[in-house]
Amino acid sequence: MRHIAKERPFKNREEVKNEISKCNIVSGIILFLGSLFALIGVIGDAFDINFILESSNWLLLAILFVIGSFGPTLHSIMAKHLYGIESEIKK
């Protein structure tokens, strides 16, 4: 994904919409994995079973993934903001 803030004004609005869509998909996948890891950690702790890692490690991994999903989410928010500013300027 490119860094939008340093680029010139948008010439192709479809490109911006595609980038927003990609960021949302990546963020959703990372959040899903974080939720899955948290679920594995909770189930492993409830039944006292180790799934490859200890349950506390699964929960820490879930926290790491959820925090990691903030990057694509913020990128998407910034692209939406700049897309809105560009739309207002062109009117």
Q: What is the largest CA-CA distance in the chain?
A: 61
Q: Which pLDDT belongs to residue 91?
A: 61
Task: Give the pLDDT confidence of 9-26 residue by residue, as tens digits.
Answer: 556 778 788 888 999 999
Q: Which pLDDT belongs to residue 18?
A: 85
Q: Which pLDDT belongs to residue 3?
A: 56
- Residues of the chain with pLDDT > 90, as a percent, come to 46
Task: Give the pLDDT confidence of 27-65 residue by residue, as tens digits.
Answer: 999 999 999 999 999 999 988 888 888 989 999 999 999
Gyration radius of the chain over CA positions: 18
- pLDDT above 90 (res 85): no
